[in-house]
Amino acid sequence: MLELQDVHLRLNGNAGPVDILRGISLSVTSGESLALVGPSGSGKSSLLMVMAGLERATGGRVGALGQDLTQMDEDALARFRRGNMGVVFQSFHLIPTLTALENVAVPLEIAGEADAFGRARVELGRVGLGSRAGHYPSQLSGGEQQRVALARASVSRPKLLLADEPTGNLDTANGAAIMDLLFDLRDAHGATLVMVTHAAELAARCDRVLKLADGLLA
Amino acid sequence: MNWPLAWRLARRELRGGLAGFRVLILCLALGVAAIAAVGLLRSAIQGGLADQGAVLLGGDAQMNFTYRFASDAEKAWMADHAVEVSEIVDFRSLAVAGEDRALTQVKAVDDAWPLVGAVGLEEGNLAQAFAPQGGLPGGVMDKILADRLGLKVGDTFKLGTQTFRLGAVLLKEPDSATAGFGLGPRTLVRTADLAQSGLIVPGTLYEADYRLLLPAGADLDALQAEAEVAFRDKGMVWTDKRNAARGVEKFVDRLGSFLILIGLAGLAVGGVGVASAVRAFMAARVGTIATLKVLGAEGALVLRVYLLQITVICLVGVVLGLALGAGGLQLGAPLLAALMPFPVAFGLYFAPLLQAAYYGMVSGLLFALWPLAQAVRQRVTSLYRGTDERVWPKPAHLAGIAALLALFVGGAVWFSGSASLALGTLGGVFAALVVLAVAGFGVKRLARAAARLGLVNGRPALRWALAAMGGPRSEVQAVVLSLGLGLSVLAVVGQIDANFRAAIARDLPAKAPSFFFIDIQDAQLDPFASLMAGNPAVTQVQTAPMLRGILTQINGRNARDVVGDHWVVTGDRGVTFSDNLPAGTTVTEGEWWPKDYTGPAQISFAATEAEEMNLKLGDQLTVNILGRDVAATLTSFRKVDFSSAGMGFIMVINSAAVAGAPHSSIATVYAAPEAEAEILRQASDTFPNITAIAMKEAIARAAEALSAIATATVLAAGAVLVTGLVVLVGGAAAGVPARMREAAILRVLGASRARVLASFALRSALMGAAAGGVAMGAGALGGWATLRLVMDLPYKFEAWSALSVVLGGMLATLAAGVVFAWGPLSARPAAVLRQAE
């Protein structure tokens, strides 16, 4: 499903270039759930961004579903994500000008699905927000916004679900509910899940846990 | 309390620089610059007119008579009071050179002219130019006229029956600014040389001006009073060097006030930018404000900290605006001085600069105070949470906003000197802003509804664009407000201009005569009519005796005291006399006098003007005709259509009342356009003293004069529009982070850059089209109201003009949108989203 070989990531900061990832190799099999843990600044989120094709590795190879992401241009990567990947962020990243329903429908619209809104409505119902379809993100609580983000990530039945600290901005109760939902969705669709988290108990729910430190797998 | 502490805190924050205030500073600077430039130009013109009053007038004082020379008594008075007197006769005539004919404004002068100033000729002096050669007297012609007739110095031309030799080409006439609107370029001759021309005879339409050089220290007030008591009732009009170019001065003053008020509209539009810049500034300071509050700062202290900062920023904008306005005008001074027909004294005048600075500061603070007062009222928790909590300002702050508004409006009334003009324009601007805000809200709701239509399914770029326009943080209202006002003014001017041109090009030729012939003597009336009747191309000829008269009294009271500045009483008007009801005339009220009526004088008045002046049947009107008062009873009202440019007289008097008054007749001749040249040739060959005025040329000259006003208005609207564009660009720049985030999310979800760009471009274009569409509606309404209600002309929606406004709005927002879309599109999604975490 995912194949990373000697992946490097160097970013240019104000104080000069910084090596974020320093040679990561790993593979994730289909249907597996993987937790990436480690201290702040260890490169977990960056690694997830590289896997999603949102960050371009400065060295090595990133393979997903048999495709080499490092050889694709920006638009090819965007097309690849359609239907193949769903991404969930710590800060939800909903589009503030769209309602909950419209936010969930966006990936289907991009993919040219005829019944984008019908399917989005079902998915929104699945995360328990069927009654809040017409609400804008600013009218929803943090937990609700993350549920919308989950619905948006899963609505196109992606083969790969990537979640970057999905409960990081939520309280314990909401965090637990979101995690239940994430695993339910993953189980329902049979997707592969890679998740960055600080919480040991969440990581423990995954099939495998990898620890990062200073840009390397520990 | 605690202003020093507030200033210390404010100063510390200001150390961060002015980077976040570019839009605010530019908005204020542009508005202030436009107002300062117009004000300085007005002062420069007024200064020039005041310095050069005697030169412009051609003497210390002038006594003017219409269609007559001064009487012996009047001449004796002048001789008693003046050191030197110069007599000038001004009239229209046809200059004929071979087969070419052109209308000219003739100025016949004596040897004393010019008493003050100097004539500019291409070569030689005036005496040489006028000196007879080969038995022909000399004349001087404006270069435009000489070129039009193909004349060179030494060639001959005729005025009436007198042949002249072109003695020189005129470059500068010292007293031209006081001459008013002329239909033809100038020809200068000596009055004595016209003796055999047949042009100046009793009844001819001319003006006689007597320029007086007065002894040093002469009391102008006393002299004016003395002359007016003695001669005003005889039609004498006094002017002196204190108000030499009264018409120009008044026009410049009014136009200046109008343009400054449009400049205020620019500041109002800029105010939208000021308000949003302050809102963005305060949004970026929420953390600091919250912390200050946590540390015990009261709302008042926080308000002062930021009010002081905004005041400093406004000052920077105002000073920049003053420098831009004054500097820009100084750069353009040589060009403007060359364009103006009168002297302009450019300089740094304090009053207009102070005025512009006042407007800038008051408007800046006015628009800043609301978002400022809102921000300091927010609760600490909502500040920390970053919730966009819209609270009402405290009553004290609302009172402050009201006071600033009163200062803004009061200043406009005070500075413009005309409460009705200031309140009317500001009321119009306010109403326009309210209409635009409501329209913006309507467009937002419409976009929201459109985004949910099945029609846009399968077109995600369009749907996202519509959703963004209709959703929270929509920019539609800001765009419609910032661009709408400038575009609306342009649209109104465009509609009026297009309708006007259409009326001239399409409607007028169909009903207007080809020529006005003036100065037809009684003995020439029948031969003239026969000549025209003999030409098959002539379809209609109308003639009427022509007098000029001033309506001086209404029911025994000074007419101006009764009806104010109504145009009928502000100068001499055409008067005709008749026994019979002229053909085609409709009496709307009252009775026409019987045939051969010889009783007390009766007068018939144009119905519309009579209604405007509140005249009633039975009123006693006194009309001064050629120095003689004719008192007549108002016995009927007539329908007069001035829009056809045909023959229309405000006043008709029964024939017996003016029997013996020297007069000439005028004629209107209707003919096919292709026959006009031949008619002109025939008429001027047969009757050299008769002057033909071609309607096409007259309308073209009038249109030229109007187009200058239209251009000035468009330029002022342009300043409003530029301010609107700055607000737009500021808005687009401020929206970059949000778009960046949106673009990143869309790309995470699989949208290509082209699709994201298409959505952003569509959003911009649709918002611009909305602003243009609203302006188009305003333009149609404004155009209709101006033409139908003010000018009484037909109105037709001019689609091309309107479309260009919509297109302009679209292109402006599209350009701003696309330029500011590059950043979001080229940013890497991961970097954007990481920053947002």
One domain, residues B725 and B834: yes
Closest CA of chain B from A110, distance in Å: 6
Q: Which of B90-94, B269-273, B294-298, B384-388 shows the lowest mean pLDDT across its residues?
A: B384-388
Closest CA of chain A from B449, distance in Å: 13
Residue B342 has pLDDT above 70, yes or no: no
One domain, residues B89 and B209: yes
User: Would B428 be classed as within a structural domain?
Assistant: no
To test the contact with chain B by mutation, choose from A93, A146, A155 the residue with the greatest count of B C-beta atoms within 10 A, namely A93
What pLDDT shows up at residue A175? 82
What pLDDT shows up at residue B706? 64
Residues of chain A contacting B738 with CB distance shorter than 8 Å: 96
One domain, residues B261 and B394: yes
Closest CA of chain A from B822, distance in Å: 15
Where does the pLDDT of residue B525 fall: very low under 50, low under 70, confident under 90, or very high at 90 and above?
A: confident
- The pLDDT tens digits of the residues spanning A134-186 come to 998 888 988 899 889 989 998 988 999 999 988 887 777 778 888 888 888 88
One domain, residues B261 and B356: yes
Report the candidate in B791, B726, B524, B789 with the shortest Cα–Cα distance to residue B34: B726
What pLDDT shows up at residue B508? 60
Joined together, the tokens standing for residue B786 give 């101006």
Residue B793 has pLDDT above 80, yes or no: no
- The pLDDT tens digits of the residues spanning B271-299 come to 777 777 777 777 777 767 766 766 667 77
Secondary structure element (H or E) that encloses residue B121, with its range: strand B120-121
Q: What is the bridge-based pairing of β-strands B206-213 and B84-97?
A: antiparallel
Q: What is the bridge-based pairing of β-strands B61-66 and B586-590?
A: unpaired
User: Would B690 be classed as within a structural domain?
Assistant: no
One domain, residues B223 and B294: no
Where does the pLDDT of residue B384 fall: very low under 50, low under 70, confident under 90, or very high at 90 and above?
A: low
Alpha carbon distance A150, A100 (integer Å): 11
Alpha carbon distance B173, B88 (integer Å): 13
- Which residue type does B232 have? R
Q: Which of A46, A78, A97 sits opposite B751 (nearest CB)?
A: A78
Residues of chain B contacting A152 with CB distance shorter than 8 Å: 749
One domain, residues B618 and B746: no
Residue pair B217/B125 in contact by the 8 Å Cβ criterion: no
- Which residue type does B442 have? G
β-strand partners of B162? B159
Q: Which of B142-151, B515-524, B822-831 shows the lowest mean pLDDT across its residues?
A: B822-831
User: Would B370 be classed as within a structural domain?
Assistant: yes
The answer to whether B749 contacts A82, with C-beta atoms less than 8 Å apart, is: yes
Q: What is the mean pLDDT of chain B?
A: 82
- The pLDDT tens digits of the residues spanning B542-561 come to 888 888 788 888 998 888 88
Determine the average pLDDT of the residues in B792-818: 84
The answer to whether B458 contacts A136, with C-beta atoms less than 8 Å apart, is: no
Residue owning tokens 């759930």: A33
Cα–Cα–Cα angle for B103, B106, B111, nearest 5°? 160
One domain, residues B250 and B370: yes
Q: Pick the residue with more confidence: B541 or B254?
A: B541
The answer to whether A49 contacts B830, with C-beta atoms less than 8 Å apart, is: yes
The answer to whether B753 contacts A74, with C-beta atoms less than 8 Å apart, is: yes
Every domain of chain A and the residues it spans: 31-54+83-217
User: Would B574 be classed as within a structural domain?
Assistant: yes
Coil, strand or helix at B692: strand
Q: Pick the residue with more confidence: A166 or B337?
A: A166
The CA–CA distances, whole Å, from B793 to B203, B501, B660, B785, B788 equal 34, 12, 39, 10, 5
One domain, residues B168 and B297: no
Coil, strand or helix at B182: coil
Coil, strand or helix at A193: strand
Residue B624 has pLDDT above 70, yes or no: yes
User: Would B527 be classed as within a structural domain?
Assistant: no
- The pLDDT tens digits of the residues spanning B249-267 come to 666 776 677 677 667 777 7
Where does the pLDDT of residue A29 fall: very low under 50, low under 70, confident under 90, or very high at 90 and above?
A: very high
Where does the pLDDT of residue B46 fall: very low under 50, low under 70, confident under 90, or very high at 90 and above?
A: confident
Joined together, the tokens standing for residue B23 give 């839009």
What pLDDT shows up at residue B403? 95
What pLDDT shows up at residue B182? 59
In chain B, DSSP finds a helix count (H) and a strand count (E) of 27, 21
Determine the average pLDDT of the residues in B372-392: 67
Q: Which residues, other chains included, contact B25 with Cβ-Cβ below 8 Å and sequence gap of 6+?
A: B18, B313, B316, B317, B320
What pLDDT shows up at residue B549? 82
Residue owning tokens 């070129």: B147
One domain, residues B783 and B739: yes
- The pLDDT tens digits of the residues spanning B408-436 come to 889 888 887 778 777 887 887 788 888 88
Where does the pLDDT of residue B511 fall: very low under 50, low under 70, confident under 90, or very high at 90 and above?
A: low
What pLDDT shows up at residue B324? 92
Determine the average pLDDT of the residues in A80-101: 85
Alpha carbon distance B231, B550 (integer Å): 14
What pLDDT shows up at residue B258? 67
What pLDDT shows up at residue A1? 84
What is the domain count for chain B?
A: 4
Residue pair B426/B264 in contact by the 8 Å Cβ criterion: yes
User: Would B689 be classed as within a structural domain?
Assistant: no
- The pLDDT tens digits of the residues spanning A194-209 come to 999 988 888 999 999 9
Residues of chain B contacting A74 with CB distance shorter than 8 Å: 747, 753
State ipTM: 0.74
The answer to whether B749 contacts A46, with C-beta atoms less than 8 Å apart, is: no
Query: B82-109: b or e for each residue (b if 16 or more CB lie within 10 Å)?
Result: beebbbbbbbbbbbbbeeebbbbbbbbb
One domain, residues B747 and B792: yes
Residue owning tokens 């900062």: B309
What pLDDT shows up at residue B380? 58
Closest CA of chain B from A207, distance in Å: 26
The answer to whether B830 contacts A55, with C-beta atoms less than 8 Å apart, is: yes
Secondary structure element (H or E) that encloses residue B28, with its range: helix B22-51
Q: Pick the residue with more confidence: B235 or B296?
A: B235
Q: Which of B741, B746, B752 sits opposite A79 (nearest CB)?
A: B752
- What number of other Cβ atoms are within 10 A of residue B360's Cβ? 28
Nearest CA in chain B to A136: B472
Residue B269 has pLDDT above 80, yes or no: no
The answer to whether B750 contacts A116, with C-beta atoms less than 8 Å apart, is: no
Where does the pLDDT of residue B327 fall: very low under 50, low under 70, confident under 90, or very high at 90 and above?
A: very high
The yes or no reply on domain A31-54+83-217 and CATH 3.40.50.300 is: yes
What pLDDT shows up at residue B56? 73
One domain, residues B177 and B225: yes
Q: Pick the residue with more confidence: B490 or B169?
A: B169
Residues of chain A contacting B458 with CB distance shorter than 8 Å: 109, 112, 114
Closest CA of chain B from A148, distance in Å: 14
The values of phi and psi at residue B321, to 5°, are: -65, -45
β-strand partners of A87? A162
The values of phi and psi at residue A161, to 5°, are: -110, 125
The answer to whether A93 contacts B836, with C-beta atoms less than 8 Å apart, is: yes
Residue B797 has pLDDT above 70, yes or no: yes
Closest CA of chain B from A104, distance in Å: 10
One domain, residues B180 and B60: yes
The answer to whether B837 contacts A91, with C-beta atoms less than 8 Å apart, is: yes
Q: Domain span at residue B588? A: 538-671
The values of phi and psi at residue B646, to 5°, are: -90, -160
What pLDDT shows up at residue B358? 93
End residue of a domain, out of B358, B390, B417: B417
Residues of A with CB under 8 A from a CB of B: 45-46, 49, 52, 54-56, 74-75, 78-83, 87, 89-91, 93-99, 102, 106-107, 109-112, 114, 116-117, 136, 138, 152
Q: What share of chain B has pLDDT > 90, as a percent? A: 15
Determine the average pLDDT of the residues in B295-310: 82
Closest CA of chain A from B288, distance in Å: 23
Alpha carbon distance B37, B353 (integer Å): 9
* DSSP string for B543-578: EEEEEEEEEEEETTEEHHHHHTT-GGGSS-EEEEEE
The CA–CA distances, whole Å, from B173 to B91, B118, B185, B519 equal 16, 8, 11, 26
What pLDDT shows up at residue B475? 84
Alpha carbon distance B576, B649 (integer Å): 7
What pLDDT shows up at residue A194? 95
To test the contact with chain A by mutation, choose from B469, B476, B747, B749 the residue with the greatest count of A C-beta atoms within 10 A, namely B749
Joined together, the tokens standing for residue B455 give 């029609």
Joined together, the tokens standing for residue A103 give 């936010």
Q: Which residues, other chains included, contact B226 with Cβ-Cβ below 8 Å and sequence gap of 6+?
A: none
Determine the average pLDDT of the residues in B191-212: 83
